[in-house]
Amino acid sequence: MSEAGAPVDFYFEFSSPYGYIASQLADDFEKRIGRPLRWRPTLLGPVFKITGQAPLIEVPMKGPYSRMDFERTARLHKVAYRHPGKFPIGTVAALRAFYWVSERDPAKARPLAKAVYRSYFVDGEDISAPAAVIAAARGVGIDAAALAAALEDPAIKERAKKEVEAAIAAGVFGSPFFVVDGEPFWGTDRMPMVEEWVRRGGW
């Protein structure tokens, strides 16, 4: 089952608090599992259409619990967290920016993802606006004008769309979501289980 060295897919949605927390833990996690993590942002909106579910925060009973648990989980992991005033939001601009950068300058893709997440979950910027994504990108040395143009490029829009379709085809219905050699794991609190799965080669 286990393919030593093969990447472990790390799916996340830029509007997801648990995805953000996982992104903050991801580098250490990657070292511990000893396999490269492939960061693959996606969108949950199209998933909710398939599953008939609503964003967590809007579900009676689960909503208030989740709202509290975002901050509790962040505190546990010593991750800075300020619940955004506008939440959840559409994150297609961030998604397109990520995949454009990952084609053009792959080494900047993770720094961009982290900067976008920080902008939303620490600084409270509304990253549904392309301008906020571009500002975050500029902060990590990405050409702002080129990115602004790329966000309107049909080829980039198509690439982002295909990534969301691929995530859905892989069964990704939440954020974060990990896939190890075809084995799916949903949730920040499953990261220890992913680690054990990699170590033991499954069970």
Interior angle at CA 192, CA 186 and CA 197, nearest 5: 80
Give the shortest CB-120-to-its own copies separation in angstroms: 24
**Contact flag: residue 47 with its own copies (CB under 8 A):** yes
Give the shortest CB-151-to-its own copies separation in angstroms: 29
CB-based contact 44:175 (threshold 8 Å): yes
**Contact flag: residue 75 with its own copies (CB under 8 A):** yes
**Contact flag: residue 153 with its own copies (CB under 8 A):** no
> Which residue among 76, 144, 146, 155 contacts its own copies (CB under 8 A)?
76
- SS3 of 182, please? coil
Nearer to its own copies, 80 or 149 (CB): 80
Q: In what side-by-side order are the strands of the sheet with 183-186?
A: 37-41, 8-12, 177-180, 183-186
Nearer to its own copies, 31 or 75 (CB): 75
Cα–Cα distance, 104 to 67 (Å, whole number): 37
**Contact flag: residue 169 with its own copies (CB under 8 A):** no
Cα–Cα distance, 182 to 139 (Å, whole number): 35
**Contact flag: residue 196 with its own copies (CB under 8 A):** yes
Copy the structure tokens of residue 70: 């975002």
**Contact flag: residue 51 with its own copies (CB under 8 A):** yes
